[in-house]
């Protein structure tokens, strides 16, 4: 086969691995509430359970030996049942709570060992927190609330108001800048809290049940606002939630907590399919993953061969036909050197093209096989894929090829879902 025709790499970044550096590294983090933490630590080292430690000492183990990394630019969701330690854990990351032992490294700096001045500087300069209770100052205007962090940091009034107006515009509240919090709905008040956190332009945001006080429609709206902001700025966001729908919608990865321990960390779909413990399995039981899947989630790179745009159509299309026949496939995809999708071809379309007096690329492309957007909800394409025998190419927002979706892939996912919830 002509070397130029050998099927190219399956996709740019087809493994889906996130190679971003770690923004936060948590090592052996422990939090004990009580007046005898050293005794509790010793008992933990001996392998005693937190319940036994409480019965014997009265000390409460809030977080136990937590170790994980949070990548730069991702939304990392911490989940667990009530009392699992998720809110304690997020407050250890910025030392609103003092850790009993262990390390929290933010950009390589150990937050757990910072002095008061260093910690305050970090919080003011590069770390913001958004709470469930909006924590707005009722006597101040929306603009003043949004600018508060900048005021504390010593920024002059004109500069901080200019920045505050910019972030209020980002969250859709410019028209309400001179209003007071009491004049706003709950959803709007939470937008003010988000604007205040954004005003210092932090690279790291901690959000503790930030949207859980809102009704479902407002919560969904705020999730949408957060995702829009994240697409523009790619901050690192640590988000505590008890809502699986929320975690699947916004989370790049999630950590599941049980009894103060982090029991599993990973992509939400992967955790749901491969739970590490019975607790995690029960946590996800009954969740309909097809509600949360996108087309990109199910696209595979091993089903349809891809070929580079030919420089010599007769030779390379002839070799493409030979290759497709040898692997018993009828369809293939053409991509350019940047892995942007050019189009779909078949053995029949390639033969028709070669039968032309002057073969050209356009004559080989099938115009009835559209590309699917990887960000589209899986459910929106169910019928389209089920009705058509040909594979569908999947592309990202820049037209980069991500993989293929076929009837076989569709059926496998639906069967896996049935088996998982059986």
Question: Which two three-digit tokens encode residue 136?
Answer: 């707005």
CA distance 182 to 186: 9
Mean pLDDT (whole number) for 313-335: 94
Share of the chain above pLDDT 70, in %: 93
Average pLDDT of the segment spanning 219-236:
86
Structural domains in the chain, CATH included, are 67-288 (3.40.50.300), 296-420 (3.10.580.10)
Q: What is the pLDDT of residues 85-113, one digit of tens each?
A: 999 999 999 999 999 999 999 999 999 88
Asked whether residue 232 carries a pLDDT value surpassing 90, the answer given is: no
pLDDT at 419: 65
In eight-state DSSP terms, residue 340 is B
User: Which DSSP state fits 183?
Assistant: G
Q: Contact, 335 vs 358, CB < 8 A?
A: no
Q: What is the pLDDT of residue 291?
A: 77
Residue 273, pLDDT above cutoff 90 = no
Strand partners, 372: 394
Strands 204-208 and 22-33: unpaired
Closest listed residue to residue 93, CA positions, set 82, 105, 76? 105
Of the listed ranges 127-136, 201-210, 349-358, the one predicted with least confidence: 127-136
Q: What is the pLDDT of residue 421?
A: 61
Split at pLDDT 50, 70, 90, the class of 420 is: low
Using an 8 Å Cβ cutoff, are 208 and 240 in contact?
A: yes
The pLDDT of residue 187 is above 70: yes
**Mapping DSSP to helix (H, G, I), strand (E, B) and coil, where does residue 341 land?**
strand
Q: Which residues contact 242 (CB under 8 A, 6 or more apart)?
A: 79, 80, 81, 82, 86, 209, 212
Torsion sign across C-alpha atoms 63, 64, 65, 69: negative
* pLDDT in the model for residue 13: 36
pLDDT, tens digit, 9 for 90 and up, residues 299-314: 999 999 999 999 899 9
Q: Is the pLDDT of residue 2 over 50?
A: no
pTM of the model: 0.75
The residues that bridge with 20 in the sheet, in sequence order, are: none
Residue found under tokens 């709950």: 186
**Token pair 């790049």 is at which residue?**
252
Q: What is the pLDDT of residues 42-69, one digit of tens each?
A: 999 998 989 999 999 999 999 999 999 9
Q: Provide the mean pLDDT of the chain.
A: 87
Residue 16 pLDDT greater than 80, yes or no: no
Q: 36 to each of 39, 40, 307, how far by Cα in Å?
A: 6, 7, 66
When pLDDT is averaged across residues 367-387 and rounded to a whole number, the result is 89
């Amino acid at each position: 086969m002509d070397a130029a025709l050998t099927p190219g790499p399956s996709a740019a970044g087809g493994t889906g691995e996130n190679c971003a550096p770690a923004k936060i590294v948590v090592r052996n983090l422990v939090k004990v509430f009580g007046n005898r933490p050293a005794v509790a630590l010793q008992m933990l080292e001996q392998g005693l359970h937190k319940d036994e430690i409480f019965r014997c000492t009265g000390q409460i183990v809030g977080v136990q030996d937590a170790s994980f990394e949070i990548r730069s630019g991702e939304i990392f969701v911490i989940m667990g049942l009530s009392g699992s330690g998720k809110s304690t854990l997020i407050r250890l990351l910025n030392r609103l709570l003092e850790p009993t032992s262990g390390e929290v490294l933010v950009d390589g700096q150990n937050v757990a060992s910072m002095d008061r001045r260093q910690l305050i500087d970090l919080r003011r300069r590069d770390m913001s927190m958004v709470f469930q209770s909006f924590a707005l100052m009722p006597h101040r205007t929306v603009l003043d609330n949004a600018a508060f962090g900048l005021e504390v940091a010593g920024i002059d009034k004109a500069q901080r108001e200019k920045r505050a107006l910019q972030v209020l515009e980002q969250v859709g509240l410019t028209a309400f800048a001179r209003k007071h919090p009491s004049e706003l709905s709950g959803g709007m008040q939470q937008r003010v809290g988000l604007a205040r956190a954004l005003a210092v332009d932090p690279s790291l945001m901690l959000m503790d049940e930030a949207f859980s006080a809102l009704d479902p429609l407002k919560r969904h709206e705020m999730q949408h606002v957060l995702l829009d902001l994240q697409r523009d700025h790619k901050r690192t966001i640590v988000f505590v939630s008890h809502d699986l729908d929320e975690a699947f919608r916004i989370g790049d990865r999630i950590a599941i907590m049980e009894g103060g321990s982090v029991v599993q960390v990973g992509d939400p779909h992967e955790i749901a399919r491969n739970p590490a413990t019975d607790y995690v399995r029960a946590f996800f039981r009954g969740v309909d993953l097809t509600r949360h899947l996108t087309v990109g989630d199910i696209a595979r790179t091993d089903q349809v061969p891809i070929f580079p745009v030919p420089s010599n159509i007769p030779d390379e299309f002839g070799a493409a036909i030979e290759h497709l026949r040898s692997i018993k496939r009828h369809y293939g995809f053409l991509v350019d050197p940047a892995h942007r999708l050019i189009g779909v071809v078949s053995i029949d379309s390639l033969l028709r093209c070669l039968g032309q007096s002057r073969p050209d690329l356009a004559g080989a492309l099938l115009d009835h096989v559209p590309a699917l957007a990887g960000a589209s909800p899986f459910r929106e394409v169910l019928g389209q894929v089920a009705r058509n025998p040909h594979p569908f190419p999947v592309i990202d927002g820049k037209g980069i090829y991500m993989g293929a979706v076929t009837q076989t892939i569709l059926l496998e996912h639906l069967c896996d879902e049935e088996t998982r919830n059986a």
